[in-house]
């Protein structure tokens, strides 16, 4: 992802948050918490990507650890 995409997506996310703020006032607490957590995690992931901090991904663990083990186990 390049920086233009990251920043534009961040601005779209902030605009969506501001528009959804009116609707969230009338939602249950669990919906507000879930929305807040999703927004926070998304913001953190985009911020770390923007600062070029590597994010540990489960697929990388599978490719480098599980797949060679499984190939060795099956004899491929």
Confidence of residue 66 (pLDDT cuts 50, 70, 90): confident
Cα separation, 39 vs 37, whole angstroms = 5
Model pLDDT, residue 1: 55
Confidence of residue 60 (pLDDT cuts 50, 70, 90): confident
The pTM of this model reads 0.57
Cα separation, 75 vs 70, whole angstroms = 8
Is residue 39 within 8 A of residue 14, CB to CB? The reply is no
Residue in 39, 76, 51 with CA at minimum distance from that of residue 31:
39
Q: For residue 38, is pLDDT > 80?
A: yes
Tokens of 68: 């060679």
Using the Cα atoms of residue 5, residue 2, residue 52 and residue 56 in order, give the sign of their dihedral.
positive
């Amino acid at each position: 992802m390049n920086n233009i995409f990251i920043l534009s997506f961040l601005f779209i996310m902030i605009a969506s948050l501001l528009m959804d703020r009116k609707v969230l006032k009338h939602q249950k607490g669990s919906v507000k918490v879930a929305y807040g957590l999703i927004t926070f995690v998304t913001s953190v992931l985009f911020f770390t990507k923007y600062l070029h901090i590597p994010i540990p991904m489960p697929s990388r663990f599978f490719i480098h650890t599980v797949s060679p083990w499984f190939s060795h186990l099956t004899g491929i």
